[in-house]
Amino acid sequence: MYVDLISDISNGSAYKPPNRKTLRQLVLARSGLAKLQLKDEVTSLIASGVKFGCGTDVWSSGDISLNGGAIYYINEDCRMQERIFMAEPFMHLTHTALNITNMTLAALRAAGFPEAKTSSAISSKVHDHAPNVVNGMNNLGSEDNHDLPGSGCYCHKLELSAKSFLGADGVKDVVKKSKGTANHFAHARGKNGLPRFRKIQEDNGFTPKNPQKGSATRWSGAYDQMEFNREFQVCIQLYDLENTSDDVYNKCKYDVEDWTMNEEACAVLAPIAFATKWAEGTNYATKCAYLPMTYALIDATEYDAPVVYNFKGTEPKLVAAALLTTPTRDARELMHRDLIDRFVAQVEGTSSEIDYWIALFLDPQFNHGKFTSERNVPAAKIAWGLEQLRALWAREYKPTPEVPDPAPATEAGANVQPPKKAKTTTSLFGLLAMTQSLAAPPPPVDDPAVEVDELEMYLARPQLTITENFNVLKWWRAHTGVYPHLVKMVRKRLACCSIH
């Protein structure tokens, strides 16, 4: 697109620097052409029965504020596709739920979604967790009385849970000192500043690295600062011994207990940081792992659960919860309760809960519903989720008797490999894999009363061992010939990510 734009600017000849008016006209022309192309694409896809996911956010920088949105769909080759359909300035409008709803609906209709049938073409949504955005997006399905599945951005929800830990008594004091240290190095120069600190790093065998700057809108800024302090603890302590005359900086220095709590906080928050980074993808179906990832985090933050110390350059180890300082342990319990409330209790009984369970079963790593202990998710709950899947299959995707099933390929012809033995590891995916042996047994799929079809054949196959780099869409692409009708459900139900 940029090459074409330069060509337009140059009018096919040698490049000429454009003036502002010419450039604006060309950008608007290109934008208008792109909108028409998107509308044609969406119209054609809807006519062929494709279902979309929809993600929105409010983007702000200085005085500029945009209502941004993207749609997602899975093509016939089982690859996630992303298209931006909206980047509308609010101009004089305020960020109310009604304005967000109206702007989003107008942009969707301009992109080719039918009037008053928006939700029939959109299978699920994901959005910012701010109340005005939540209420605005909840209105998308109201025009045809449809409860559109979806919820706040997974990463934003994790951020809110992490902030409950960072803001807890005791921990927040360490966070404040950590920010003070970072601010000191951001402004101090000369003898008692960043150059001296980098020299200390070099003298002690470290590759010089600047302290992390904080972020006003992301919890990870505080985590990155504390992780920097943990990594360069020796260097900071040596710097502290030299720098005793700066009263402002002296207030930010860690004492012995602060250093202990800093390391504990890094270990406690590491799984949250991992889950946040993992979820930041738009080319794969992260929705499948919403439940497994959530319960892995819930397990990892229980009051009596050991903490995994898995820092770069050190051997992983498990530290008993009883060895943690009281403020850290209490703060972790606060985060544990927040995770349960935000990711489980608030979703229970909604269409989103059904959506997450169906997505779970459509991942061959979880096709038996085995992803956590029965103490967390009883067998009855797994059976309920399976019931939702079977009902949807029978209602919308199972071939009717009048249309015979195409002869499915054999499992052997699909190059199916036996599940690998799970390795013991301290990574978050390793913890997920280890729970498979503790989980409820697989659902009964050998009942003679149940007709054997594509879905039952899929549910009967061995559950794959959980691996970090598994691509569920790639797996379905390789098994389209085995499950030609079930893959249609996959393309429609997984066409949305966990983040906006």
186-222 per-position pLDDT tens digit:
887 666 788 889 999 999 999 999 887 766 556 678 8
**What pLDDT, on the 0 to 100 scale, is given for residue 228?**
93
38, pLDDT greater than 80? yes
**What pLDDT, on the 0 to 100 scale, is given for residue 137?**
80
Question: Each residue of 42-80: pLDDT tens digit?
Answer: 999 988 888 898 888 888 777 788 888 889 999 999 999
Q: What is the DSSP letter of 232?
A: T
Residue closest to 495 by CA, chosen among 474, 480, 473 = 473
Decide if 72 contacts 55 (C-beta within 8 A): yes
- Block residue for tokens 């900071």: 236
124, pLDDT greater than 70? yes
Residue closest to 359 by CA, chosen among 292, 299, 300, 446 = 292
Residue 102: Cβ-neighbour burial (10 angstroms; 0-12, 13-18, 19+): middle
- Give the CA angle between residues 472, 475, 480 to the nearest 5°: 120
Tokens read off for 425: 């590891």
User: Rounded to an integer, what distance in angstroms lies between the CA atom of residue 243 and that of residue 346?
Assistant: 49
User: Rounded to an integer, what distance in angstroms lies between the CA atom of residue 206 and that of residue 211?
Assistant: 13
Its pTM stands at: 0.81
Residue closest to 173 by CA, chosen among 227, 253, 244 = 253
Amino acid at 444: P
Question: Each residue of 316-365: pLDDT tens digit?
Answer: 999 999 999 999 999 999 999 999 999 999 989 888 899 999 999 999 99
Number of Cβ atoms within 10 Å of the Cβ of 325: 15
**What pLDDT, on the 0 to 100 scale, is given for residue 190?**
67
Phi-psi region of 349 (alpha: psi -120 to 50; beta: other; left: phi over 0): left
User: Rounded to an integer, what distance in angstroms lies between the CA atom of residue 135 and that of residue 129?
Assistant: 10
Question: What is the mean predicted confidence (pLDDT) over 358-382?
Answer: 92
Tokens read off for 476: 């379905």
Measured in whole angstroms, the distance separating CA 132 from the mean position of its chain's CA atoms is 21
Decide if 440 contacts 378 (C-beta within 8 A): yes
